[in-house]
C-alpha cells in the first residue's frame, strides 16, 4: 500500500540541521529542495521520495546511499549525508545548473563538439561509478546537470527507493524507455554495459534531437529497443562511429565507460568548446522530439531506418499519393472499405460493425464456432502516433499472443492501417485471420485512394470535435514536462496523445462509441457538474481512466452515445494518477459542445 508523505514547506528543519529553502523541482525520482546546512554553513540539495518508506525500503536506502557516498568525481554529484527519521532524505552537493533535458528544451539539438564534451565528462563519472561496483541504471538527459561554464555532472544514481520503474507486462524493466538498453528491455538486470548504452542514447538524443528509438507509449518504445530498430544518425558527425558502438545490441560488444571517455577525448582534442548560444536568440520551447510538427517528420525518419541500417526508397510514391494521398481527408476516409467480408467468410459468418470504438475504426465479427466471435479490427492511424516503420504497402508484425494477433500496413509517409484479430482461447490461428484481413487492406490501397464514407456523422457527434483542442497548456501543466506542443494526433483529431519529455506520465484522450442502453464502466464521480466514471487498469495497474459520456440535449436519442475516454499512464500505481486524470477530464468535458 502506498503511504503519502507528510507535507513539508520552506523553513522546515530536516534532521535538526538542514533548513529547507525552496523546492527545486519534482520529477520521476522525487522532490528536490534547496536547503542550508546550519552546521557547515553551506547550501545543499535535499531529496526525498514521493511516497513513504517501509522497513525494507529504509534498509535498502541506507545501504545504497552509503555506496553512492563512496563516489568522488568532479563530474558526479556528491552524496554528503542521509536523514532517516520520519522520512528518508538524501543530502547532496548543491549544483546551480540546468539538466541536459532543460538545455535541449531551450536550444534544441546541440553541435557534436559540445555533445562530445558533455559525453566525455559523464563517461568519466560513469567509469568512477563502475569502479565502485555501482550501476547507475537510469542515465538520461534529465539526470545530467550542465552548469553555465560547461561542467557536466551525473546525478540521481544508486538509490533504488527513488528509482522509477517503467514496467513491461512482467514488471522487470527498470529505467526510462527511450534510454533503456535491449538487455534491460528484455528483463535482464542492468549492468555497466547498459549504463554505456544509456549514455550513448542520451548523447544521440542531444545531437540528433530525438532518442535513438523514438518516442511514444512506453511499451512501444521498449519493443523497438528489443528489436534494435534505431533511427539513423544524421547530425552526429565525428561522434557517429563511437555512438554506433555504444548502441550495439550485444552488451559485450560495447566499449567500457573509460574507453568512451578516452575515445571522445580523441574527437574533441584540447580545443575549447564553443560558447553556448545567447538565450535571447532562441526562445524556450519543447525539445525537438516533443514538438507537434516533428511528430510528422519523425515518422518520415522512421521510414529510412530498420535496425541501424539506412534504407533508400525503391521507388517513388505513386502520383495519387503525392497529390492527394491514399487517405485524403481523414474525417471522410472509410475504414470499413478496407474490410472484405467475403474473404473473412472462409472462417465463418461475419457481421460488420461501424460503431465499435473510435471513429477511425471498423470491425468485422467472425463466428468461428466458439462462445464469442473473432473481432477483426481495422483502424486508420497516423504513423507518428505509433512510430510505425517501413515502406508503402509493407506489412509490419506487431503484438502476437494467445488472444491477439496484430499487423500494421504502411500507407505512405504519414499514415498506416492497424489490423488485429482478437479472441480469448481461439479455436484457430488468429494470425491466419489477421493475414487475410491484411491482404485485403493492401489490395484496396494498391487500387487507389481509400473510398469515402457513405453517411456523414450526425449532428452533435464528437466526430466534429478536435480532441487535441480539449486540453490547453494550463491544464497539461498538471503533469511534468507536458505541453500543447507535444500533442500527437492519432487520426482525424479523434484521439490525441501527449508525452512527457522526462519519461513521466503521459495522457491519452480519445473518443469511444458506446451502446446507449449499457452502463458506462467505472465509479461515478462529479466533474464540475458533469458525470464521469473512474476506473483503474486491471492489466498493468499503472493507469487511471476517466470516462465522460456526451449526451447533447435537444437532439434525437441514438442507439450509440459518444464517450470521452481520458487516461493518465505512468509507471506508478494507477491510483496515484486519478486526481490528475479527473482534473484533466473536467477541463475537457467543459469544452464539449452543449
Catalytic positions, please?
138
* CB-neighbour burial class of residue 209 (10 A; exposed 0-12, middle 13-18, buried 19+): buried
Residue whose cell numbers read 507535507: 7
Phi, psi at residue 545, to the nearest 5°? -120, 140
Q: How far out from the chain centre does Cα 446 lie? A: 33
Per the CB < 8 A criterion, the answer to whether 150 and 121 are in contact is: no
CA atoms within 13 A on the CB side of 20: 20
Q: How wide is the angle at C-alpha 115 spanned by C-alphas 109 and 119, nearest 5°?
A: 140
Cell of 248: 550495439
What is the rounded CA–CA span in Å between residue 298 and residue 289?
8
What is the rounded CA–CA span in Å between residue 55 and residue 61?
10
What is the rounded CA–CA span in Å between residue 502 and residue 497?
15
The per-residue DSSP string of 91-140 comes to EEE----EEHHHHHHHH-SPPHHHHHHHHHHHHHHHHHHHHTT---S--S
Cell of 189: 538486470
What is the rounded CA–CA span in Å between residue 104 and residue 546?
33
Phi, psi at residue 326, to the nearest 5°? -75, -25
Cell of 470: 480539449
User: How many CB atoms are closer than 10 A to CB 448?
Assistant: 11
Q: How wide is the angle at C-alpha 282 spanned by C-alphas 277 and 284, nearest 5°?
A: 110
Amino acid at each position: 500500500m502506498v503511504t503519502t508523505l507528510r507535507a513539508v514547506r520552506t523553513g522546515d528543519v530536516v534532521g535538526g540541521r538542514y533548513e529547507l529553502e525552496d523546492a527545486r523541482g519534482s520529477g520521476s525520482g522525487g522532490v528536490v529542495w534547496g536547503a542550508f546546512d546550519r552546521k557547515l554553513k553551506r547550501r545543499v540539495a535535499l531529496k526525498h521520495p514521493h511516497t513513504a518508506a517501509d522497513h525494507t525500503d529504509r534498509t535498502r536506502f541506507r545501504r545504497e546511499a552509503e555506496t553512492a557516498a563512496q563516489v568522488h568525481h568532479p563530474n558526479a554529484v556528491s552524496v554528503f549525508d542521509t536523514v532517516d527519521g520520519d522520512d528518508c532524505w538524501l543530502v547532496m552537493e548543491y549544483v546551480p545548473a540546468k539538466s541536459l533535458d532543460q538545455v535541449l528544451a531551450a536550444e534544441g539539438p546541440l553541435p557534436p563538439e559540445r555533445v562530445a564534451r558533455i559525453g566525455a565528462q559523464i563517461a568519466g563519472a560513469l567509469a568512477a561509478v563502475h569502479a565502485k561496483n555501482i550501476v547507475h541504471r537510469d542515465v538520461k538527459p534529465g539526470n545530467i546537470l550542465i552548469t553555465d561554464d560547461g561542467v557536466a555532472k551525473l546525478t540521481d544514481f544508486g538509490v533504488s527507493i527513488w528509482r522509477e520503474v517503467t514496467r513491461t507486462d512482467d514488471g522487470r524493466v527498470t529505467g526510462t524507455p527511450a534510454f533503456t538498453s535491449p538487455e534491460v528491455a528484455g528483463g535482464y538486470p542492468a549492468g555497466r554495459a547498459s549504463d554505456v548504452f544509456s549514455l550513448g542514447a542520451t548523447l544521440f538524443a542531444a545531437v540528433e534531437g530525438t532518442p535513438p528509438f523514438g518516442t511514444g507509449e512506453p511499451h512501444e518504445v521498449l519493443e523497438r529497443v528489443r528489436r534494435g530498430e534505431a533511427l539513423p544518425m544524421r547530425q552526429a558527425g565525428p561522434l557517429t562511429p563511437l555512438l554506433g558502438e555504444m548502441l550495439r545490441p550485444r552488451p559485450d560488444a560495447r566499449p567500457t565507460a573509460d574507453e568512451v571517455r578516452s575515445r571522445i577525448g580523441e574527437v574533441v582534442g584540447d580545443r575549447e568548446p564553443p560558447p553556448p548560444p545567447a538565450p535571447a536568440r532562441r526562445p524556450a520551447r519543447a525539445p525537438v522530439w516533443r514538438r507537434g510538427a516533428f511528430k510528422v517528420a519523425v515518422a518520415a525518419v522512421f521510414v529510412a531506418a530498420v535496425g541501424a541500417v539506412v534504407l533508400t526508397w525503391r521507388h517513388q510514391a505513386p502520383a495519387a499519393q503525392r497529390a492527394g494521398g491514399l487517405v485524403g481527408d481523414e474525417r471522410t476516409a472509410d475504414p470499413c472499405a478496407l474490410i472484405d467480408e467475403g474473404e473473412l467468410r472462409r472462417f465463418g459468418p461475419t457481421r460488420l460493425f461501424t460503431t465499435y470504438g473510435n471513429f477511425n475504426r471498423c470491425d468485422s465479427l467472425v463466428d468461428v464456432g466458439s462462445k464469442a466471435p473473432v473481432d477483426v479490427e481495422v483502424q486508420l492511424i497516423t504513423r507518428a502516433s505509433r512510430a510505425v516503420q517501413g515502406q508503402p504497402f509493407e506489412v509490419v508484425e506487431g503484438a502476437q499472443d494467445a488472444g491477439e494477433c496484430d499487423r500494421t500496413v504502411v500507407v505512405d509517409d504519414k499514415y498506416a492501417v492497424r489490423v488485429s484479430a482478437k479472441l480469448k482461447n481461439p479455436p484457430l490461428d488468429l494470425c491466419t485471420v489477421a493475414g487475410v484481413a491484411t491482404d485485403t487492406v493492401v489490395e484496396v490501397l494498391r487500387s487507389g485512394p481509400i473510398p469515402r464514407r457513405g453517411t456523414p456523422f450526425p449532428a452533435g457527434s464528437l466526430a466534429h470535435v478536435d480532441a487535441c483542442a480539449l486540453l490547453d497548456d494550463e491544464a497539461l501543466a498538471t503533469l511534468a514536462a507536458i505541453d500543447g506542443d507535444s500533442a500527437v494526433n492519432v487520426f482525424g483529431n479523434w484521439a490525441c496523445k501527449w508525452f512527457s519529455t522526462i519519461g513521466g506520465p503521459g495522457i491519452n484522450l480519445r473518443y469511444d462509441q458506446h451502446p446507449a442502453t449499457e452502463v458506462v464502466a467505472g465509479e461515478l464521480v462529479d466533474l464540475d457538474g458533469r458525470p464521469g466514471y473512474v476506473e483503474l487498469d486491471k492489466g498493468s495497474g499503472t493507469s487511471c481512466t476517466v470516462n465522460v459520456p456526451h449526451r447533447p440535449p435537444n437532439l434525437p436519442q441514438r442507439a450509440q452515445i459518444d464517450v470521452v475516454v481520458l487516461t493518465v499512464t505512468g509507471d506508478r500505481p494507477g491510483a496515484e494518477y486519478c486526481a490528475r486524470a479527473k482534473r484533466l477530464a473536467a477541463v475537457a468535458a467543459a469544452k464539449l459542445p452543449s
